[in-house]
Structure 1
């Protein structure tokens, strides 16, 4: 969409976003008249943002400059923010090469690498968030009905209507929306797409929900833990792997209809789950959510329609695997890149799957728990050569520095203090 068309639609400026290594969506914006210049030459952005922590503390220096270029092919006029449009961006160096620390650029590269194996993927997210009517930073649930109750939908039906209307106007296909378990919590599922678009849509959906919530005088949070001791916000990933237009997670003669490569793809992810948590459950607060017997997937296991397994296999419709242990603090571009790297490595290795689990893994003596704190996940990530090689030295260093900085900030605090410090960062 060119500047003249945007101006005709009342758009004055375009917000260009990227997601940093702490999972926070950052932005630079340009007036519509400068959009063509931004596409051609980029918007100046400091590489320091690679080392921003959730609380905006900075772990890197101010030297250097990157160029943030909007992907106008994904541009959307924002229904909830009159006069604004949005586009995801990729950061480039001064020579026009994709910055090695750019998460969206990494995902684009990984998708191309997976294609060299004659593989492609489809991905979708389930997005959970909590809505507050409290003053300032206080969290007060904006609805009071029972979990999954129609009462909750009725209480905020106008709000949810506006969320759905805005997303539809922006071209986002919503498959389901409902009240969730935690106080003031809702969940929305969007249709599967190729991986880069799936991550773009997650960013757009979250920022649309945030804007609609503010328009209703409320506040939304996607943080993995909103109330200490309560149920947190997951951000489950649904993923399937394809070859020659055929879904490799169905139509085979393996367990639950898996093909050999489909099983190996899941096996590659399952075997690397401890390391993957440093990307998909990337905050200290993530491990307040990732506890047994809470539908969070706290054990390194898989099973058919098992909501306690970290990997829930689904056969209804288009078969796929749901990664339940990831949450709302994750950078979606990093999360999908890491899953694709792990899964495609599993195909290369001919990885096999253990027996599926059909009970709560917490009831089994031989179940393997996933890391119970961020430090253990970071250690597993630093010891996983496949992920390290794919992400590259610069990005790995930035990610681990940010994780260790968060641990130093929050690691010795009580659950209540951790939640208070991080609730509104996401």
Structure 2
């Protein structure tokens, strides 16, 4: 049962995500609340309870987080309390309940294999569409802006960047930073699975697809992180010299392509000229520490999106958000809530991976953590950003250090019969 539930969670979180659900109407109930996630997430948690698979310390922290979040529902008056409860449940509460479920090494490895069969196909398809969009001067995303996303914030972003002559890949499933995240996950998860079992695709194909996906997104942070993964966190047992030679040639080739010249190089040059590679993020942080703005509350914050009001009072030109979740969440939900959240998603996983001495997965996890903490996704209500990270985290925390026990047992059995 858990396999089917996990696959349904994958489709509801990664494919039918919050950006895709804009098709139900921006700001509508089914846009803001991932109903499928609520259903399948609760069933998955119930399966974990029935099978006695719950991590107690995780559950205690999740219950504490839930109580603190529920207390704060009356603080937000921009939407109804029922819708507010639904958004908080879909964004945080149910995903964190999913995180409490423990799997065996073999179950986690098997689920990762199933996850990748769908995710790999989707990522390859996504990059093909992206290349077609790029060579046709953004015709596909402009079509979406004028049809599927018409009258929405996504359409404004697409049309605005096209007018300014900027190309970044927007699609049905998200904006450029979402595309970046998908291809970093694509690279990491394929190499983690290869270390446990085997490659499901040729390593060269994984690298090329990942590079193109990140390049199309135009993310400066994404470029740095994918290069780090390729150079220092790839699973290659044999032919290491040949692999690094191929990587060097491939990277040199990519620097000659129009995608690199017109998207990545241009964005890096703009950042260097402005003296800020963070696209304004660091300016608002500097303004915060140099201001007399109120400090966030300890037990509770001042409600959903209050951090945006704090940024507005800092009067930084063209910056409307902190972007960094660790700064946004204390103002919205309080320091204690933020501490619990970061303990569950980052501190506890690091401790567990260190205890297992699973350094390969730890490196990939740290790269993923840098990516998700470099934008406002984790702190933005009514999105599937946290749920996506949690679903991946469930797999990473339950993976073994070496190949799965089932595969080792099969090898031993074969050697005995030989």
TM-score tier (shorter): under 0.3
Query: Which has more strand, going by share of residues?
Result: 1
The alignment's TM-score, normalised by the length of structure 1, stands at 0.27
Higher relative contact order, chain-length normalized (CA < 8 Å, sep 6+): 2
Which one has a larger percent helix, Structure 1 or Structure 2? 2
What TM-score does the superposition give when structure 2 sets the normalisation length? 0.28
